[in-house]
Structure 1
Amino acid sequence: MRLLSLHIDGFGKFKNKDLTFGDSMNIVYGYNEAGKSTIFMFIKAMLYGLERAKGRASKSDTWTKFKPWGNGDIYGGNLRFSYHDRAYRIERDFTKTASTPFAIINETDGKPVEGAAEFLKEVLCGLTETAYSNTVSISQLKSATDAKMVVELKNYIANMNTTGNMSLNINKASDFLKEKKKAFVATLNPDAAKTYNQNLTEIRILEKKISSPEFSSHLKTLKEADAITDKRIMDLNAQKETLIESIASKRQHLSDLGFVDKSTIVQLQDELNKGYNDYLSAYESEKKSINKVYSVIFLILSILSVIMSLYIFKSGKDNIITASTGVSYPFAMVLFIIICLASLIFAAYIYTVYNKDNRHLTELKVNLMATMARVGSFDSITEENIHSANKKLSSKISIFDEMAADIAKSEALNVDIENLRAKKAAYASGIDAKKQNEWELEKLMEKLAKMKDDNAALKNIIAENDKIRFEIDAIDLAMETLRNLSETIKNSFGLYLNKDASELIEGITGGVYDSISIDENFNVFLNTPNRLVPIEQASSGTMDQVYLALRIAAGRLMQNRAKELPFIFDDSFVNYDSIRLRAALLWIANNVPEQIIVFSCHMREAQLMTATMQDFNLIEL
């Protein structure tokens, strides 16, 4: 990774500020309060973001400390870097209302990086902010590493010993296992097996008691018989209801037709047949009686007699009739008068008889049609219609017969239901007699069911206890393995750093010191021919040289010995005299392939690099 340039939109005192970095040595010069530490912090903020506290602590947090001085200024910027032959740009907006607070742009491909956070973690070789601040980035007047870095290095080295990577935190793993074991132990039910066996013994006693003659099946038989009887009563009641509905339906149908009972239908049928027979008799009698034609004939005869009488009367004795017949005039007059009167009498008689027969037939016909209308809709008196009416009446009689049969069945069902109810009452008496035993049996059955349910649950708990104990044993084994591993790591903690840091200290000190020792608590000792000298007993300049070597070694170690990340120093050489500064800078310039960025309030670093004809990039603020 190489830093290419940065642009500050707004950060601390800077606004629209641009810096460009070289690939190797970069010296950023500026007088005190020129903003070197601000740019140093801006680079870290671009890589890890800014801390934002809550409540009262927010007044002194990092976000507030580096808030732009101008009101309304944009808070943020971008940092360009190269990685694996591609150029990238980190963009951050630290304002509270930022729509896109963080993004990484692949400038080579011209598109945003998906999963920007994970990609940045890869670029930083997995270094946490703590590791970054204690290795590759050295802030002003802070050469020694802090306590957090000791923990980071311990975990890192432990992980390298076991897994070959730095993803596992041995202390967190140990704490996690302890918490898991505590949680598992809390879920154990130590009395489950004992309670299960006690319940099993009581279950067997209860089962034996329930099967004793005291609780024989007689009560069960009574209940079964009572249930069967109850069901039979329900079935018969259902049949009875069906019959009642059928009877009601038929009665309503007959009532709608005006038939109250069977006798009314029989009476109507008799009336229909009698009326029809009377009608036929009257009809035949009429056909046989004197025809009304005779009445007309006698009427014509009486008219002719009157005419003849009038003729004789007007003609006198000289009329043709008396002259031709030789009948006397008075006799002829009397004869025609008698004939006239007799014809009138016969005509009147015949007409009276005919009218009497006709009125009787009409009356019979009207009565018969009225009777037929009560049966159905008929337009004439025919044998076929009379037969149809009789058939309908017979069907209604059948309905009455069916209804009578249904009523008989319903009454029979009532008798059966009453008998069954008497039986049910007898069963109820028998059940009541066994009531106390039933109550006791139910209690025993409830207790047995509950104990079986409890034992089923206990069986699951016992099985779960076995699984939990297996997990606890596995956790104990894992914790023992971690303890053994931790002891091994403790005994060999300094080996990783000692080798690399010793190689570096010889070059940085110009051969004054060539070996250092570091224990598991990150205590540093200088190896001298006579003894190990604690670093605290050395001069401040020597201490800074040792810690510089230690930081470079630790930084590379935590990058899996890769030489990817740039080293950034913020006035880190302030305690170096000119000899130490010359030795350290020349060694760094010629032996550290990583990009170097040195922030200084003095020009002596730049002058030294110029005097020794070393390539470097000078940035003046």
Structure 2
Amino acid sequence: MSVYIKKLHIISFGQFENTSIDFTSGFNLIYGKNESGKSTIASFIEGILYGFDDGVRVRHFNKKQEIYRPINSYKYAGIAIFNKDGTDYRISRNFKNGEYEIYNLYTKEVVEAKASNLNYPGEFLLELPYEIYQNIISNYQAQESSDKARAKVVELIRNKDDYNFSASDAINILDNKLAEIGTNRAYTKPYAKTKAEIEEISSEILDLKSLRNETNKDFAKLYKNRDDIKNKSEKLKELKNARDAYRENVAYKNLEDEIKYKNELNYVDSELKKYEDLKIKENSTSDKKTENLSGKDLHKHYAFYILGSLLLIFLWRYFKQNYLLAIAIILPIMMIAIDKKDSNLSDDADKKYNDQRYIEYLKLINEREKILEILRVLENQDKTKDRSNIKQIQKLDIKDTELKIKRLENDLEELRKNNIYLERKLASAENQLNNEVDLVDKLNILEKNLKEMEKEIKAINLAKETIIELSKSTDADKKEFDRAISDLISTITKDKYSQISYDSELNPSIITNTGESLSIDKLSTGFYDQVNFALKFMINENKLDNFIIFDDAFINYDLDRLRLALFFLLDLANDRQIIYLTCHNREEEVLKNENIEFNKIDLEEI
């Protein structure tokens, strides 16, 4: 036994107020005269389970809600205890607004439920929608089924395990689902769009991987450049410190000038070697000049020549020697020639002094004197300075140092420019690479979705094949169901009607024992009730495991038919709870005459 009612406690509902009713799990006979509240109890059970929502998920005005609203009480509520699979559940309902609570009496916990679904307690306990409850669980006299309810019942009959299943509807749903997923050619549907997006993102990720490899190389270059910058900066600092120390120390400066002028002196001396001949001739000419007389001495020299010549002439006149005359004549001429020759020699020397080469020679001499003078001054100045580190100064090549500094500065400038370029390039790449994780995650999700779609497509196709195969056995199941109903109807009617079957819309087709086929409009009210009972009995016996409520369902039965129907219900009560409401004594008399035990609830006594 799956679900049965243990107790009802009506706080205020219709004419009942603070009323409790206990039930057994078997056959329960509720007796009450007309207007005593039998239908109220049936409606209370229905209201506890499904509220007043007529199975619709939107709350709206309901006729029953107003019919059973208490007149003399502001309360409009009730409680029921149900047992499901051995566990007791207490359901409380406020009928004013439909609010409810499902409480597990075993775990002492409230069952989670969606408040907006007023039908949930019935769906939770019975696992049935309101339409099935209304047409199968709760039976009324001359009860008619709505089209929606009939469709639900048809599905219940057709399917062994799921009352809400239609093979044709399922195939249509599955085909629609396949259409929603799409194929490779349906470019606007999820399947093709997902594949296209996977290809696009995969291409982007591949590009990003290439970019990351290039970025790693750029990072290596950047780090190497930074190391080079650090090393060269340290070297540059050392060279600049040496240069600055050289510039700032006066001893360094004097040494620099001393070296400079000594180098210049060496150069001048080397150049003067080219004028050695001028230096020698200059000395000899100076000696001859010293031997020559000055202008005043020259007159004396000439006077000596004249006096000597006159003396020779005098001697010639005295001695009459011709050679004396000749000498007197030749001597002045020879002396003049000699003087002229000396004069020519003097003129040639003067010409050499005025020669350009000689001028250059003199310039070098003057330059040398100046350098020597500067070196003497530097020597005098340097005597007051500290020359303890003169060896270090001598080792420093200031020009080479300046050249190295310049080269290092150029190298550092190029390295820094290259690093700026690399840093900008890496920053740009980093912005792109930041999307790689998101792209990979998105790709994983898309690939997962694609696999799920492929699985779903495969499952849908498998489901379609399975449904088609199972549908082939529907006719056999339907024939067996029709046979069971026919046997029941034949028994109830004492073989008056031998066969009954239902079409796809659950419309009965009746065959009499004479072979005549009867349409539904030719059936009597009593027989229609019998057909309706037979259908619901077979459904409950074969499809459901819940309590069943009968409210004057057999009022049109004669005593024999009622007796047979009650026997079927008693057999049914071995597996499920039966709640039978009546205003007649016939049911009680039949049960007592057969010595059958049952639970009687007299509404006059509560």
Once the 2 structures are TM-superposed, how far is the Cα of residue 547 of structure 1 from its aligned partner? 0.8
Q: C-alpha separation between the residues in 2 aligned to 1:415 and 1:549?
A: 107
AA at the equivalent of 2:133: Y
Q: In 1, distance between residues paired with 2:27 and 2:409?
A: 117
1:101 alignment partner, SS class? strand
Q: Find the counterpart in structure 1 of residue 478 from structure 2.
A: 494
The whole-number CA distance in structure 2 between the counterparts of 1:130 and 1:532 is: 30
1:281-333 CA distance string (max 9 Å, x none): xxxxxxxxxxxxxxxxxxxxxxxxxxxxxxxxxxxxxxxxxxxxxxxxxxxxx
Alignment partner of 1:134 is 2:127 = no
- Given candidates 248, 252, 256, the residue that maps to 1:262 is 252
| Residue pairs, 1:163-178, within 5 angstroms | 169-178=166-175
Report the AA paired with residue 59 of structure 1.
Answer: F
Matches within 5 A, 1:105-116: 105-106=105-106
3-state secondary structure, aligned to 1:135: helix
Q: CA deviation at 1:115?
A: 8.8
Correspondence 1:297-446 to 2 at 5 A = 390-392=387-389, 394-395=391-392, 397=393, 401=396, 403-410=398-405
Amino acid in structure 1 at the alignment position of 2:60:
S
Partner residue in 1 for 2:541? 556
Structure 2 Cα separation of the partners of residues 155 and 261 of structure 1: 117
Alignment check: 8 A CA contact 2:12 2:73 kept: no
Structure 1 match to 2:37: 35
Q: Is the 8 A contact 1:155 1:171 kept in 2?
A: no
What secondary structure does 1:573 align onto?
coil
Instruction: Give a deviation string over 1:46-96, Cα, whole Å, max 9, x none.
Output: 445663899995222766765666666363312244x66x46243234479
Task: Provide the residue aligned with 1:518 in structure 2.
Answer: 502
Asked if residue 182 in structure 1 is aligned to residue 184 in structure 2, the reply is: no
Asked whether the 8 Å contact 1:494–1:519 carries over to 2, the reply is: no
Deviations 1:179-230 (A, max 9, x none): 22212436525899xxx9xxxxxxxxxxxxxxxxxxxxxxxxxxxxxxxxxx
The amino acid across from 2:557 in the alignment is Y
Q: Distance in 2 between matches of 1:522 and 1:159?
A: 14
- Maintained 8 Å contact 1:506/1:515: yes
Contact 2:492 2:565 in 1 (8 A): yes
What secondary structure is seen at the aligned counterpart in 1 of 2:555? coil
C-alpha spacing 1:547/1:113, structure 2 compared with 1 (3 Å): same
> Which residue, out of 566, 588, 593, partners 2:547?
566
Residues 1:405 and 1:471: Cα distance change in structure 2 (over 3 Å): same
For the 8 Å contact 2:103–2:110, the answer to whether it is kept is: yes
Q: Distance in 2 between matches of 1:398 and 1:10?
A: 121
Question: 1:377-416 CA distances to partner (integer Å, 9 max, x unpaired)?
Answer: xxxxxxxxxxxx7545655x369x2654320224567999
Counterpart residue number, 1:102: 102
Q: Partner amino acid for 1:185?
A: G
CA contact (8 A) 2:552 2:583 kept: yes
Q: CA deviation at 1:102?
A: 1.0
1:606, 1:466 → 2: CA distance? Answer: 65
Structure 2 Cα separation of the partners of residues 546 and 252 of structure 1: 122
CA shift, 1:112, in A, is 5.5
State the 1:568 CA deviation: 0.8
Q: Please say which of residues 66-75 and 528-537 is displaced more in the overlay.
A: 66-75
- 1:53 and 1:158 map into 2 onto residues whose CA distance is 22
Q: Which amino acid aligns with 2:253?
A: S
Deviation per CA, 1:449-478: give whole Å up to 9, x if none.
xxxxxxxxxxxx9xx999999987985675
> Secondary structure at 1:16's aligned position in 2?
strand
**Distance change >3 Å, CA 174–CA 408, structure 1 → 2:** same
Quote the Cα distance in structure 2 between the aligned partners of 1:245 and 1:557: 101
SS at match of 1:51: coil
After TM superposition, give the deviation of residue 170 of structure 1 in Å: 2.8
Choose 578-587 or 512-521, whichever is displaced more. Answer: 578-587
Q: Which amino acid aligns with 2:252?
A: K
Q: Is the 8 A contact 2:15 2:70 kept in 1?
A: yes
Letter in 1 for 2:170: A
TM alignment of 1:152-301, pairs within 5 A: 152-156=152-156, 158-160=158-160, 169-185=166-182, 188=185, 245-252=237-244, 259=249, 262-264=252-254
Give distance in 1, aligned partners of 2:411 and 2:464.
Answer: 83
**What corresponds to 2:147 in structure 1?**
147
Change (3 A) 1:407 1:261: farther
Q: 1:584 to 1:405 in 2, by over 3 A?
A: same
1:599 is aligned with what amino acid? L
Does 2:579 correspond to 1:597? yes
Distance in 2 (alpha carbons) for counterparts of 1:34 and 1:476: 57
Question: Could you tell me how far 1:137 is from its partner in structure 2?
Answer: 1.9
Counterparts of 2:240 and 2:538, CA distance in 1:
110
Structure 1 position 417, deviation (Å)? 12
Alignment-derived partner of residue 92 in structure 2: 92
- Matched position secondary structure for 2:601: strand
- The CA deviation string for residues 145-167 of structure 1, in whole angstroms up to 9 with x for no partner, is 4434543354445543xxx6668
> Which residue of 593, 596, 601 corresponds with 1:618?
601
CA positional deviation for 1:133: 2.5
d(CA) in 1 for partners of 2:454, 2:44: 53
**Contact 1:247-1:403 within 8 A present in 2 as well:** no
Does the Cα contact within 8 Å between 1:240 and 1:410 map onto a contact in 2? no
Q: Which amino acid in structure 1 is aligned with residue 603 of structure 2?
A: E
Comparing 529-538 with 47-56, greater Cα deviation is found at: 47-56
* Mapped pair 1:535 → 2:520: yes
Aligned-partner Cα distance in 2 for 1:63–1:264: 121
Task: State, as a whole percentage, how many aligned pairs show the same letter.
Answer: 25
Distance, in Å, in 2 between the alignment partners of 1:595 and 1:19 is: 15
Q: Is the 8 A contact 2:251 2:387 kept in 1?
A: no
Alpha-carbon shift at residue 549 of structure 1 (Å): 1.2
Partner of 1:3: 5
TM-score, with structure 2 as normaliser: 0.52
Q: 1:415 to 1:586 in 2, by over 3 A?
A: closer
Amino acid at match of 1:102: I
Matched position secondary structure for 1:17: strand
Give the Cα separation in 1 of the matches to 2:451 and 2:242: 77
1:536 CA drift (Å)? 2.9
> Structure 1 length as normaliser, TM-score?
0.51
Q: Distance in 1 between matches of 2:157 and 2:7?
A: 34
- 1:448-463 equivalences under 5 Å are none
Deviation at 1:14, TM superposition (A): 3.4
Q: State the aligned residue count.
A: 405
Query: Residue 359 of structure 2 corresponds to which residue in structure 1?
Result: none
Contact map agreement 1:29 1:602 (CA 8 A) in 2 = yes
Q: Are 1:94 and 1:101, in contact at CA under 8 Å, matched by a contact in 2?
A: no
Q: 1:61 to 1:251 in 2, by over 3 A?
A: farther
- Which whole-Å deviations, capped at 9, do the CAs of 1:353-379 have from their partners, x for residues lacking one? xxxxxxxxxxxxxxxxxx99x99xxxx
Mapped contact 1:141–1:571 kept (Cα < 8 A): yes
**2:60 aligned counterpart, secondary structure:** helix
Go from structure 1 to structure 2 and tell me whether the alpha carbon gap of 1:165 and 1:578 turns closer, same or farther (over 3 Å shift). Answer: closer
- Checking the alignment, whether the CA contact within 8 Å between 1:156 and 1:166 is kept in structure 2 is yes
Distance in 1 between residues matched to 2:467 and 2:57, nearest whole Å: 40
1:356 corresponds to which residue? none
- Determine the structure 2 residue equivalent to 1:16: 18
Partner Cα separation in structure 1 for residue 564 and residue 186 of structure 2 = 69
